[in-house]
Structure 1
């Protein structure tokens, strides 16, 4: 979900690591040997067992470097999935990490919201050329020049509300104020747009808050209910839902997320971050537990909760055409260039990502304490999820490099290709 003020969004961080030059100490206690679980189901080939051992080593290295915990699930389409879990010992006080834990999905939520919007397009209830002003009159300045397509592919030029200082305080848990979607948009449009509508690409969470409101306006149903009716229930996703102030995750099933505490996060913050930026939560071994942080700034931009297995089922259903007709799936996969020098391209809530082992489709998600990377091949037959229980912890070069090596390895395993020997990410 994050962008700009927070560490650069790891958009499919397979080809990109944090590009900002950041320095800082590894959070105390996170480098200890991890508690772990690895599941190697019957039916795996010798090559798959070897890949599992390699991925297990990479997961252990990520936790030893300072990641509080990782969950990896790889389905190469040829048999039982590989599931690997590692966590630092100090995190076991709150929760023992498991492969089927619920996880905050962050900006991967955008793929779900885009799917709902495109379903409404297929039903002729919306058009991608509809101006925002048609559905949200008076809410967004120059809304008659911004189309739904521009919202979906981040070419609207709207300021990213997360970078508003007041919203950032709520996002980091320093302020418990409950923001409404309309208030988030008001915070965004209180800043000048970044460029004229449709002229270039710039990732902005504001786009998806507007899309959530539009989906509600055209249907008369809440966004959470739309997701349940149109996606979760048809796919039997019992642990997949929109977390809000009225529907909070089950503490027994939710993985706990962590961020470096005030003393450890300061060196990791990018230049220009407001003074005093830190995360609120109970202290844990140089970290704070951000599991129950303010949820109100996320919603349609990053409020989904799911599991690795269920998100893989969603990706498979989406890419195989079970959720969208061919015309709308083609539109979703019609991409625009991202920043200069970035080989990845953004479609309608879906990103095409260049990795060391080939191009994949999916999205990256980040909310406080949770970083998820979810990818699939072009058919949906193969899927992979890599969950890490921190965002800012990955800004430490050592931790980030180890986590990147794990992501690279997991995606290559998904594609049935050799796991790269190098631990260094490509830029």
Structure 2
């Protein structure tokens, strides 16, 4: 997510283009990280990327994390409305309205509740060929990947092979403050490590060749040449660097590639047969074409085959709506973890945004537990409302913002306003910076991972 207040999604914060972006919007990289940043959490991660003019004003707050002693119990007594023909018609109209207003090519919506299911696709999967969007397509899910990576780490914790309060230096050398930054602080975005996707040299390397493969070590080298942003545990700041480090810890402890470990320990136990961690830019068929404005000139381009290795453990996974609806419940209820570990995962952190906060690789947004994600050309929202036993998946084939807002947020908000009016998913738009530019404003636009 951005901050506890914004995108828990998985895209790397991307530098802004050298000229004003069309529509004057902030990069898709904001996602969850952007949410928290919009709420007033400072930092150099995706959450801190400056938004377009006219965005929501940030709450002037600095969050000093002091985890609550007990896990939160979000959305007690939450419920959803029955999916009657009238409600279904209202959902159709709401989704179509957002699709049209935000100029989104296509979207897939999967909603599962004890009071009925809703599964529909709108728009097109290919703008050139005019192919309609359908519900069974594979898609890149961006920062939703973080939920899988952190779950993999927590599986190792449950197996006694790691402890959340172990320092990262116990497993990896060369990490700034590695003797004091804990695995917990990496998972809950409180390490203080610079977000590699905000580095100008990384931005130039990526935008000059979107097909270029990156290794985790290369990604970390961009981060570690910068000083740390704050002392470990001092505050929240969304950073893809954190999740890449956790991916390397998993590989070291398991003796397997992250891809193989997640399949064995997370995908298979959760019965996710169409969820894959690609080695490069391979993209299982069928899939929609993706469209992004994260280009040097801000013009929309087809990013379907861009290599997501630059996001690795923070944003490279591919899945579909059927798998993600299963995953939403697994993640929120902790069915792959011990109750004690799930309780640690859901310990509430202070947040400047009411009813929105970040835990260990997930967020709670007005009772909905999950994450969002964004990569060039694709966005996702995968959330579950435990008290109502409801799961929602929104998948779209663009990351182009609309009036400073992530289109994935607009869809999820419009849907939950109808089906769960007491628990409306919402992430504030990122605030405009006083100077109108951010730390990477002189660099070309780079793909964002929310």
- TM-score (structure 2 length as normaliser): 0.74
Query: Structure 1 residues 414, 168: CA separation in 2 closer, same or farther (over 3 Å shift)?
Result: farther
Which of residues 371, 375, 379 is equivalent to 1:367?
375
Superposed displacement of residue 300, structure 1: 0.3
Query: Structure 1 residues 403, 187: CA separation in 2 closer, same or farther (over 3 Å shift)?
Result: closer
Alignment partner of 1:394 is 2:423:
no
Which of residues 276, 279, 282 is equivalent to 1:248?
282
Residue 299 of structure 1: aligned partner = 312
Whole-Å separation in 2 of the counterparts to 1:112 and 1:10: 17
Superposed displacement of residue 128, structure 1: 0.6
Whole-Å separation in 1 of the counterparts to 2:121 and 2:188: 34
The structure with higher relative contact order (CA 8 Å, sep 6+) is: 2
Alignment partner of 1:225 is 2:271:
no
Residue 110 of structure 2: aligned partner = 73
Q: Secondary structure at the match of 1:394?
A: coil
Structure 1 stretch displaced more, 194-203 or 94-103: 94-103
Residue 414 of structure 2: aligned partner = 409
Q: Secondary structure at the match of 1:199?
A: coil
The answer to whether the 8 A contact 2:83-2:115 is kept is: no
The equivalences for 1:170-181 within 5 A come to 170-172=205-207, 174-181=209-216
Query: Structure 1 residues 4, 352: CA separation in 2 closer, same or farther (over 3 Å shift)?
Result: farther
Residue 273 of structure 1: aligned partner = none
The equivalences for 1:258-269 within 5 A come to 258-260=291-293
Residue 2 of structure 1: aligned partner = 12
Q: Secondary structure at the match of 2:107?
A: strand
The answer to whether the 8 A contact 1:152-1:348 is kept is: yes
Superposed displacement of residue 255, structure 1: 2.0
Whole-Å separation in 2 of the counterparts to 1:419 and 1:179: 38
Q: Secondary structure at the match of 1:337?
A: coil
Q: Secondary structure at the match of 2:31?
A: coil
Whole-Å separation in 2 of the counterparts to 1:425 and 1:159: 22
Query: Structure 1 residues 419, 50: CA separation in 2 closer, same or farther (over 3 Å shift)?
Result: farther
Which of residues 215, 227, 235 is equivalent to 1:192?
227
Residue 63 of structure 2: aligned partner = none
The answer to whether the 8 A contact 1:63-1:88 is kept is: no
The answer to whether the 8 A contact 2:213-2:309 is kept is: yes
Query: Structure 1 residues 184, 47: CA separation in 2 closer, same or farther (over 3 Å shift)?
Result: closer
Alignment partner of 1:119 is 2:155:
yes
Residue 238 of structure 1: aligned partner = 273
Query: Structure 1 residues 235, 114: CA separation in 2 closer, same or farther (over 3 Å shift)?
Result: same
Residue 377 of structure 1: aligned partner = 385
Structure 1 stretch displaced more, 61-70 or 200-209: 61-70
Query: Structure 1 residues 301, 90: CA separation in 2 closer, same or farther (over 3 Å shift)?
Result: closer
Please provide the CA RMSD for this pair.
Answer: 3.2
Query: Structure 1 residues 243, 419: CA separation in 2 closer, same or farther (over 3 Å shift)?
Result: same
Residue 140 of structure 1: aligned partner = 175
Q: How many residues align?
A: 373
Residue 93 of structure 1: aligned partner = 129
The answer to whether the 8 A contact 1:335-1:346 is kept is: yes
Query: Structure 1 residues 94, 207: CA separation in 2 closer, same or farther (over 3 Å shift)?
Result: farther
Alignment partner of 1:202 is 2:202:
no
Q: Secondary structure at the match of 1:244?
A: coil
Whole-Å separation in 2 of the counterparts to 1:296 and 1:371: 17
Could you list the runs of 5+ residues in structure 1 that have no partner in the other structure?
A: 24-44, 263-275, 279-285
Superposed displacement of residue 78, structure 1: 2.9
Whole-Å separation in 2 of the counterparts to 1:76 and 1:242: 28
Residues 106-130 of structure 1 show CA distances to partners (whole Å, capped at 9, x for unaligned) of: 1111111111101100111000111
The answer to whether the 8 A contact 1:259-1:390 is kept is: yes
Query: Structure 1 residues 369, 175: CA separation in 2 closer, same or farther (over 3 Å shift)?
Result: closer
Residues 17-46 of structure 1 show CA distances to partners (whole Å, capped at 9, x for unaligned) of: 9982348xxxxxxxxxxxxxxxxxxxxx97
Superposed displacement of residue 10, structure 1: 3.0
Superposed displacement of residue 74, structure 1: 0.9
Alignment partner of 1:328 is 2:341:
yes
Whole-Å separation in 2 of the counterparts to 1:134 and 1:240: 31
Residue 41 of structure 1: aligned partner = none
Alignment partner of 1:348 is 2:356:
no
Residues 177-223 of structure 1 show CA distances to partners (whole Å, capped at 9, x for unaligned) of: 32100111111011111111111110000000000000000010111
Could you list the runs of 5+ residues in structure 2 that have no partner in the other structure?
A: 1-10, 16-26, 40-48, 55-80, 432-450
Whole-Å separation in 2 of the counterparts to 1:418 and 1:192: 40
Alignment partner of 1:309 is 2:322:
yes
